[in-house]
Structure 1
Amino acid sequence: MPVQIEKLIKNERSEKITNVFQSIYKKKPDFFVRVPGRVNLIGEHIDYCGYGVCPMALDQDIFLAVGTAGEGKKLRLHNVDRKFEDFECELDDNIEISLENGPPKWYQYFLCGIKGILETLPKDQLQNLPSICVVVSGTVPQSAGLSSSSALVSAAALAAAHSLKLQLPKEELANLCARCERYIGTQGGGMDQAIAFLAKEGCAKYIEFEPLRSTEVILPTGAVFVIAHSLTNLNKAATGDFNCRVVECRLAAQIIAHKNSLDWTKIKRLGDLQKLLGLNLDEMLALTGECLKTTPYTKQDIIQELNTTSSLVDTVSLTPNTRDIEKFKLYQRALHVFNEAKRVKQFYETCKNAAGGEDTLLTLGTLMSQSHESLRDLYECSHPQLDKLVEISKSFTLGTRLTGAGWGGCTVSLVAPENVQKFIDSIKENFFKPLGVTEGFEFIVFTTTPKSGACIYVHNE
């Protein structure tokens, strides 16, 4: 099914972006694109291992005004937030995304989506491209674990596809965006892009991969989710932390595969390994204990375990920004992945079979709390500010966990309706006030309900 096209309902934001577009490009936008951010309720750091996750789309989004011109073959970008510089480049299949020291530029995420679409075009169509002019407006907090970067990549791809009259199914767009975001250097797994395109208002989604498929998750009555920002940020593409976890999981899968007489060079993910072995998650947990040592592995340890060469490990297992890492914790990472995959299934089944009431909410909250403990202790991707938020949240929530990659960003809490305001007041007083924050709370602590996925809007004329 292609992305939905709707008539634009005018509001202050759409009027502002239209006026900015007209002042720069001297014409009205042809259409608009909206792609939401997301919060992952449970299932962290397991999508790139091949396991299902449970996110929902947010009200916060990336919103684009887009127009085409018949000449020039250029991409022109402008952001309504003037801290982001304008950008212009030739529109062709030779778009380069060269990463230097420090975090990527905002427009390089946009280029990922454009490049992904252009690579699907036949050569003859590349000769007749129009210019694409874009104004960007974003309300997803940046580097907060709410998928601002993936939303921007996905919005760019959707804008390019619609400008070039490509009608791609949502699943194909999601898969394409998951692949092309890797041009920025992040080895993600596809959850962010999938929920961006497949989200449905009123429900979360249980998303599984290869093939990409989604199932509605109707959240039980009385489940309110509150997002709180730790006021610490991590740009995944700016450090090797995220990619280190990806390769640790890959190396764990490869060593277990080798010890079970499989060709380790063909194994990339723990989920693929499980399918090949034909075992359930509990059996995989037992196998992890048998095959992996609990102490860290050096690169030389890994070479010896796999009976291979440093060169082959560099090529098959590692990424350019993980080749200099000296220690890898494989047992702990695999343990988290298999247990987190179990928690996602329990979360989904609990919602599916929910009779409502306090017991259901307690079960979901407990799973979320267990998830955070695992991310903190086994995956080591939390942060002192996140842990402090989780601790403060215990008085008024049923469960709290970090959401997104971690190392900063946001927590998501399950809260009973009668405790929502008490909880928000508590973290304002006990977390934000000691940090000197006295205003702007609507951007750093807010309730959320499941919103719809990507949409194209056209003028209502």
Structure 2
Amino acid sequence: MTWLSPGDPDDLRARLRREFESAFGSAPDVLGRAPGRVNLMGEHTDYNAGLVLPVALPHATWAAVRRRDDDVVRIRSRQQEHGWEGTVAGCAPGGPQGWAAYAAGVLWALGTGAAEGVEPLSVPGVDLLLDSTVPVGAGLSSSAALECAVAAAVVAALGLDLDTHRPGVVAAAIRAETEVVGAPTGGMDQTVAMLAEAGAALLVDFADGSSRPVDLGLAASGLRLLVTDTRVSHALVDGGYGERRADCEEAARRLGVASLREATPARAEELDDDRLRRRARHITTEIERVRRTVEAFADDDHAALGRLLLASHVSMRDDFEISCPELDAAVETAVEAGAVGARMTGGGFGGSAVALVPAERVEAVARAIDLRFVRDGFAAPAHLLAEPGPGASVRRVGD
């Protein structure tokens, strides 16, 4: 059985500082940290102006940053063999490719104005080293964790207060991923990476951008969040995510609404195109499931939570068509082995499942999933425990 550790923060900071000094010749100015996330309910609803209920993971990406006196940008990662070097101007769309685009794109977005009403920052050249314990391609938002860790560290390196710049960092991270990387993110991942609070999920309403913490009461209920990485890697730039987004936009257009948030399940059934009808049905019912999930946690209603999690998975499997055999097996087996409920999580086409499990059944559920994967001939999965954690933070070296 493979468990993915978030690592000890003090050890990670010390290692990152040592390796930064080795790579670049002197100490960094700032260390930034931003978490991955697991979404409890509300898949693909963010870009439909809907509701989401994610949790920030203890697993995070770390960024060590030092300002330079020129416009040179040097980016390295402990998870990558080769780095990227260029200039601040070269961080624009069409410049860096692959993993480095996520980091370089943030520098470009911060320097050009992340969104309407967000003032551009004077971004100098930087030396940047990354480290991460967020599994890549697992549907746990490793990309947003990287973007937000870089942005938070750069903001602090410029001598600015991170708390007052959190909305701008969210906007910069979204713009980096959509315009430089080319992935059609909806913004949930970046929002929770910056705004999450320890011990709570974050309820985000993308109709108005508001958010509030939601106490899940896990400890009092004796429940844990078990995340299973199926090791089926997904990439949001491969097309499936963008196709679903385009379907939702077309469904909204045919219904005569600005977004599917303004529709209802009954309205979705009016669509005469089967594929669009099923896409709209998932979004409209999923938004309602987010509301009911918040209520079920408040009422400590385990039976309702189990029904909602399973209904969400079935909707993603059948109507939105973003599951896969490994995710279906993980969900089915988790429930059979004693989980309150389970569902796939993230953008889909691989990635992870999340299960709400009584604390005393966690090992048994994880073991049952491992055995099911062996029986079905799948690659061995990995597991982690999602302890709801805080959003991004920074620490100046020497503090």
Q: Report the TM-score when normalising by structure 1.
A: 0.78
- Is it true that 1:348 corresponds to 2:294 in the alignment? yes
Aligned twin of 2:3: none
**SS of alignment partner, residue 144 of structure 1:** coil
**SS of alignment partner, residue 385 of structure 1:** helix
Q: Pick closer, same or farther for the CA change 1:340–1:140 going to 2, 3 Å.
A: same
Q: Pick closer, same or farther for the CA change 1:231–1:343 going to 2, 3 Å.
A: same
- Is it true that 1:413 corresponds to 2:349 in the alignment? no
Aligned twin of 2:320: 379
Aligned twin of 2:186: 189
Please state how far the C-alpha of 1:431 moved relative to its aligned partner: 1.9
Q: Which runs of 5+ in 2 are unaligned?
A: 1-7
Aligned twin of 2:235: 235
Q: Pick closer, same or farther for the CA change 1:10–1:449 going to 2, 3 Å.
A: closer
AA paired with 2:226? V
CA distance in 1, matches of 2:327, 2:43: 15
CA distance in 2, matches of 1:381, 1:250: 17
Aligned twin of 1:308: none
- Is it true that 1:115 corresponds to 2:108 in the alignment? yes
- Is it true that 1:148 corresponds to 2:142 in the alignment? yes
CA distance in 2, matches of 1:123, 1:203: 31
**SS of alignment partner, residue 350 of structure 1:** helix
Please state how far the C-alpha of 1:130 moved relative to its aligned partner: 3.4
Q: Pick closer, same or farther for the CA change 1:432–1:215 going to 2, 3 Å.
A: farther
Please state how far the C-alpha of 1:225 moved relative to its aligned partner: 0.8
Please state how far the C-alpha of 1:171 moved relative to its aligned partner: 2.5
Aligned twin of 1:397: 339
AA paired with 1:65? A
**SS of alignment partner, residue 169 of structure 1:** helix
CA distance in 1, matches of 2:151, 2:201: 23
Q: Pick closer, same or farther for the CA change 1:294–1:159 going to 2, 3 Å.
A: same
Q: Report the TM-score when normalising by structure 2.
A: 0.89
CA distance in 2, matches of 1:124, 1:450: 32
Please state how far the C-alpha of 1:205 moved relative to its aligned partner: 1.1
The structure with the largest alpha-carbon Rg is 1
CA distance in 2, matches of 1:210, 1:170: 19
Contact 1:62 1:137 in 2 (8 A): yes
Q: Pick closer, same or farther for the CA change 1:457–1:251 going to 2, 3 Å.
A: same
The count of corresponding residues between Structure 1 and Structure 2 is 382
The one of 167, 170, 174 equivalent to 2:170 is 174
**SS of alignment partner, residue 53 of structure 1:** strand
Aligned twin of 1:425: 367
Matches within 5 A, 1:46-445: 46-70=45-69, 72-81=70-79, 83-92=80-89, 95-98=91-94, 105-120=98-113, 126=122, 130-167=124-161, 168-183=164-179, 184-220=181-217, 221-237=221-237, 239-257=238-256, 267=258, 269-271=259-261, 274=262, 284-290=264-270, 292-295=271-274, 329-352=275-298, 354=299, 356=300, 360-395=301-336, 396-432=338-374, 435=377, 444-445=382-383
AA paired with 2:349? W
CA distance in 1, matches of 2:328, 2:88: 45
Q: Which runs of 5+ in 1 are unaligned?
A: 1-8, 275-280, 296-328
The farther-off stretch of 58-67 and 420-429 is: 420-429
CA distance in 2, matches of 1:434, 1:288: 36
CA distance in 1, matches of 2:357, 2:100: 37
Q: Which runs of 4+ in 1 moved over 6 A?
A: 121-125
Contact 1:392 1:431 in 2 (8 A): no
**SS of alignment partner, residue 193 of structure 1:** helix
CA distance in 2, matches of 1:163, 1:334: 44
CA distance in 2, matches of 1:230, 1:368: 18
Contact 1:365 1:398 in 2 (8 A): yes
CA distance in 2, matches of 1:145, 1:61: 14
Q: Pick closer, same or farther for the CA change 1:411–1:165 going to 2, 3 Å.
A: same
Residues 156-184 of structure 1 deviation map (CA, whole Å, 9 limit, x = unaligned): 22233223334443233223322332012
Q: Pick closer, same or farther for the CA change 1:163–1:340 going to 2, 3 Å.
A: same
CA distance in 2, matches of 1:84, 1:56: 31
CA distance in 1, matches of 2:335, 2:119: 58
CA distance in 2, matches of 1:207, 1:123: 24
The farther-off stretch of 32-41 and 164-173 is: 164-173
CA distance in 2, matches of 1:73, 1:40: 38
Please state how far the C-alpha of 1:437 moved relative to its aligned partner: 6.3
Aligned twin of 2:5: none
**SS of alignment partner, residue 176 of structure 2:** helix
Q: Pick closer, same or farther for the CA change 1:185–1:394 going to 2, 3 Å.
A: same
Residues 423-461 of structure 1 deviation map (CA, whole Å, 9 limit, x = unaligned): 1221222225765867xx7xx212221011100012355
**SS of alignment partner, residue 67 of structure 2:** strand
Contact 2:184 2:236 in 1 (8 A): no
Q: Pick closer, same or farther for the CA change 1:99–1:134 going to 2, 3 Å.
A: closer
AA paired with 1:217? V
CA RMSD, 1 decimal: 2.4
CA distance in 1, matches of 2:393, 2:121: 25
**SS of alignment partner, residue 91 of structure 2:** coil
Q: Pick closer, same or farther for the CA change 1:453–1:392 going to 2, 3 Å.
A: same
**SS of alignment partner, residue 394 of structure 1:** helix
